[in-house]
Amino acid sequence: MKTLGYYNGKYGELENMSVPMNDRVCWFGDGVYDAGPCRNYKIFAIDEHVDRFFNSAGLIRIQVPCTKAELKALLRDLVNKMDTGDLFIYFQVTRGTAVRTHEFPENVPANLWVMLKPMGTPDLYKKIRLLTQEDTRFLHCNIKTLNLLPSVMAAQKAKEAGCQEAVFHRGGRVTECAHSNCHILKDGILYTAPADNLILPGIARAHLIRVCKKLEIPVSETPYTLKEMMDADEVLVTSSTKLCVAASEIDGTPVGGRAPETLKNILDAVMDEYMEETKA
């Protein structure tokens, strides 16, 4: 199959799939999701993605209709139905199908969705441009909720400005990006926002922290400001699809480029880990 959609046991090409209008995702975005890359039919960091998925579901009191082991087995089975093993894998759970009412419906099973589409290997060495925006989202950014309208609007604004990502900030504090985490290198130290309720604790963020520790680069999980970001030696952006890339400018002002050797060591190590885990 070229693409694949899955909904509660039914699957097929995405263009042929449909869902009930009364799925609560249609009325409320009532659910959570996770996503990541696959290469050579091997899903990268599958344990971490599934763990985060179940954690997000638990935080909004959705009972995932399968175990972690069953979900992993399902995802691997769906991957093997594809024409290529280099894929983007997305999965979500919604609170179920019921006539619209704000309160949780009773005795209604959750709905499980999966989407697969082809995706090439990320290019870590191509720098990106960033745009800053005030973070006006709610105070539960640690939940990977389906309610992504603020991120959609921010990403569109960045695109219209010729940028590849938007950096959110609350006052002076940098939180994260529209669909990524962001970090800075300064004086040989990696600074990354703490994993509190203002950011989603990204899988790629965790891998970056682990790589830096292996390279004996100190890591500080402390808040940093927009000014500190603009003055950083390097600005890094991590996500499950892009892994880790550096920024060349923010709001039209050049940034980074002051620690190229350290940056290359980090990017090489991130790519090496990805290639090793997903080798044929």
Where in the sequence numbering do the catalytic residues fall? 144
- C-alpha torsion angle, residues 87, 243, 151, 68 (rounded to 10): 60
Burial class (CB in 10 A: 0-12, 13-18, 19+), 57: buried
Angle 163-175-204 (CA atoms, 0-180°, nearest 5)?
Answer: 75
The answer to whether the beta carbons of residues 198 and 227 sit under 8 Å apart is: no
Instruction: For residue 18, give every residue at least 6 positions away whose Cβ sits within 8 Å of its Cβ, in sequence order, or none.
Output: none
Task: Provide the strand spans (E) within 135-172.
Answer: 165-170
Residue 265, H or E segment: helix 260-277
